[in-house]
Amino acid sequence: MKIRNNIKSTVFQSIALVCIVLGAASCESKSNKEEAKEIHNEAIIDENKKEKDAAFLSKAAEINIEEIALGQLAMEKGTMKAVSELGKMMDVDHTKCLKGLSELAKEKNIAIPAGLTPDAEEAYKKLEHKNGIHFDEEYCDMMVKGHENAITMFDKAATECSDPDIRDWATKTLPSLKAHLHHAMMCKAKCEKNK
């Protein structure tokens, strides 16, 4: 009877010990799983931040390429001196901006477009078919709207991009965009006076 009780006691102790070990292993396993999940989530968050930064640089390149093309068209077709001068400003400043952007994108290993997007091509063709004051008005209007949108986008990037170099570039580019908007608004006002 004593032996039987000792066996029962030993069996219960063994079972209890196995439960404790399995419970600890289970907790450790859960802890490792949670840690792995956190690392995975952080990697996804980092990748999303990088994608947003890359999307900003890509869109900024599209804007610069379009402004250069439209600026060259304005130098060629603008009837008012102010329109031709605005076009030249866009060509020169956005070419310089695109150069800096291209260097930054290369440094960050981000691919950016090299030509006009289909939407930009359509805008170019639409403007190309205008003449005289209609061209001048349309060009100035495009420059005002385009720069308002660009300023909003760059303002956001200056605070929300995860890469400090990209944030810094966006911040440094904003004054030029604001100056362009000011000139485009003045040019638009001159067009309206010449109607």
pLDDT tens readout for residues 22-58: 454 454 555 565 665 455 445 454 566 788 999 999 9
d(CA 102, CA 79): 33
Residue 178 covered by a domain: yes
| Residue at token pair 């990037």 | 157
Q: Does residue 162 fall inside a structural domain? A: yes
| Digit-coded pLDDT (tens) for 63-82 | 999 999 999 999 999 999 99
Is 173 part of a structural domain of the chain? yes
Q: Does position 135 have pLDDT exceeding 60, yes or no?
A: yes
E strand intervals along the chain: none
What is the Cβ-side half-sphere exposure of residue 193, based on CA atoms within 13 angstroms? 8
Asked, for residue 86, whether it belongs to a domain, the answer is yes
Assigned domain for 188 exists: yes
* Domain count of the fold of the chain: 1
Chain centre to alpha carbon of residue 164: 13
Domain of residue 171 covers 52-193
Q: Quick check: is 46 in a domain?
A: no
Whether 37 is in a domain gets the answer: no
The Cα–Cα gap between 123 and 118 comes to 9
- Sequence-ordered list of residues with C-beta below 8 angstroms from that of 141, at least 6 positions apart, any chain: 188
Packing angle between helix 81-107 and helix 164-193, nearest 10 degrees?
170
Query: What pLDDT does 193 receive?
Result: 85
CA–CA separation, 69 and 189 (whole Å): 23
CATH number at residue 189: 1.20.1260.10
In a domain, 62, yes or no: yes
H helices, E strands: number in the chain: 5, 0
Cα R_g (the chain), whole angstroms: 31
pLDDT for residue 151: 97
pTM attached to this predicted model: 0.76
At residue 129, the 3 state secondary structure works out as: coil
